[in-house]
Amino acid sequence: MQEVIKKRKRVNILMVEDNYLDALLTTEILSETDRADYRVNTVKDGVEGIEYLHGLDGHENSPRPDLILLDLNLPRMNGFDFLARIKKETGLKTIPVCILTTSETQEDIEKAKELNTDCYLIKPLDLQEFEKAFSAIV
């Protein structure tokens, strides 16, 4: 009897996060899920995120992300400026963006909605909320 091997969907994620430990923890959480084969590429700020998305400066062969995980408080280009920029570009605006931040302010939440973010999660993450959000987006 031939065993059927269920193939998990591969999901390429671009994480725009300057905190190494937050990036490591999120990657660890994703590696433990059985829903998909998550491949996480991490960049440290919005400028490098734009370079990644345009295949510039060492990111020439990087896969197009199926999802972007975005911190708001970033050096060089903050998360809102990054989000606004990619949502204006025809080739990038369809990529779902999930904001992962420590900010609980209503002002930031509203601004994220105005910029068409797909999800807004507050750190530290509730694992069930995280899984639920990912299931809805990916």
Query: What would the pLDDT profile of 41-94 be if each residue is shown by its tens digit?
Result: 999 999 999 999 999 988 899 999 999 999 999 999 999 999 999 999 999 999
State pTM to two decimals.
Answer: 0.85
Instruction: Quote the domain boundaries for residue 51.
Output: 9-137
The answer as to whether 3 is a domain residue is no
Residue 102 inside a domain? The answer is: yes
43 located within any domain = yes
Domain-located, residue 74: yes
* CATH classification at residue 53: 3.40.50.2300
State which H helix or E strand residue 69 sits in: strand 67-70
Q: For residue 68, give both structure tokens.
A: 């972007």
Q: What angle do CA 124, 92, 131 make, to 5 degrees?
A: 30
How many domains does the structure of the chain reveal? 1
pLDDT per residue over 107-137, tens digit each?
999 999 999 998 898 887 666 666 666 666 6
Residues with Cβ within 8 Å of residue 95, at least 6 apart in sequence: 64, 65, 66, 67, 68, 86
4 domain-assigned: no
**78, part of any domain:** yes
Domain assignment of residue 85, yes or no: yes
Position 54 in a domain: yes
DSSP alpha helix (H) spans, the chain: 20-31, 46-53, 79-88, 106-114, 127-137
